[in-house]
Amino acid sequence: MSLRIRRGTNAQRTGGILDQGELAYTTDTKKLYIGDGVSYGGKNVVSECAGTGLSWNETTQTLNTTGSGGVSLPANSAGVLKNNGSGVLTWSPVFPPSANGILTNNGSGALAWTSLTNLIQISYDDAPTLAGDLDISGYDLYNGNDITLAGALTNSEITITGGDFKSTASFYFTNISPKKIEFSGLSNGSSIITSPFAIFSSSNGTIDIPTNSSPSDCLGSIFFRGVCHETTGWVNAGGLSVALSSTADITSTYAESVVSILTGSNSNTLNTFTFDYNGVFTAPILKATSYATTSLPPNPESGWIVYDSTENNFKGYVGAPINAWVVLG
């Protein structure tokens, strides 16, 4: 047994007044109405559900969310649904379409998008490199890993702990006050490698793919310069250079080398003083210190050579059993 209520089209419903409590069903719109004895067509039973956060649209005959409990989802917009902590839901776009910029937090949990017209891409890089100048405005630069630069780095102080500093270009300390490069560490016995030291590493090939050095290769130099604006600007005054010898065995731990001290000569050449791998010292001119006969150096050791300005001759000191200065030649 079934219960059948009044039924008809929506047009038929709106043409008359339903008795109070009378139900009517529209066969074309598939909706249920209840009469109040006054209104034409009665009331949609769903309309009576309207309340806080819900409203009834008489034209569309639909129940919509409104007020503090409502949420509006824009069409064709990618984003996230957020709760403001008071039960109100809002829609926030994730990124604006076709806009370069950065996502920032205002410190209270709200995210905002700032467009940057010159920004091309933001990405994560676990081995970052810098292809230009780095100006950190006098602040210290600290790093626990390798720093690789392809441009100039200008700053007053750099501290690197537990990593290497690498540069394929020049490295400058520029300031009107004196600057220095300081190596601080601990000494442990007489070994060179257990105390603070500087290393100049040189190879053939490339920095990334080094190949074997060759005999006679210059491995590194330190130069001291002055400035002369009437010429090229910087003038070399002297320095220190280290090169492999012509017979160096590059497979050995300490290959044969030549250490050269370089001094200027008011010309386009440098005077060179060298110590070779046998300890032989070579110089263009060797000048012994002059002493009067009555003031020769005290506590001499065997092998010392001086020039006696009183007697105009060279003297060498001979140890035991002679223990005396003797004329050379």
Amino acid identity, position 133: D
In whole angstroms, what is the distance from residue 150 CA to residue 169 CA?
Answer: 6
In whole angstroms, what is the distance from residue 325 CA to residue 300 CA?
Answer: 9
State both tokens at 243.
Answer: 């090169």
- Residue linked to tokens 């200027």: 264
CATH 3.30.70.1150 fits 6-66, yes or no: no
Q: Is the pLDDT of residue 126 over 70?
A: no
Q: Is the pLDDT of residue 47 over 60?
A: yes
In whole angstroms, what is the distance from residue 163 CA to residue 315 CA?
Answer: 54
Chain segment 144-158, per-residue pLDDT in tens: 566 666 666 555 566
pLDDT at 318: 93
Among candidates 82, 83, 86, which has minimal Cα distance to 94? Answer: 82
Among candidates 244, 192, 249, 238, which has minimal Cα distance to 218? Answer: 244
Taking residue 260's Cβ as centre, other Cβ atoms within 10 Å add up to 19
Domain ranges (residues) in the chain: 6-66, 129-183, 214-285, 290-327
Taking residue 250's Cβ as centre, other Cβ atoms within 10 Å add up to 12
Residue 152, φ and ψ in degrees, nearest 5: -85, 145
Among candidates 151, 157, 159, which has minimal Cα distance to 134? Answer: 151
Total count of residues recorded for the chain: 329
Chain segment 32-45, per-residue pLDDT in tens: 888 888 888 888 88
For residue 69, name the pLDDT band (cuts at 50, 70, 90).
Answer: very low
Chain segment 101-114, per-residue pLDDT in tens: 677 766 666 667 77
CB 238 within 8 A of CB 262: yes
Predicted model pTM: 0.48
Chain segment 166-188, per-residue pLDDT in tens: 666 666 655 555 566 676 777 77
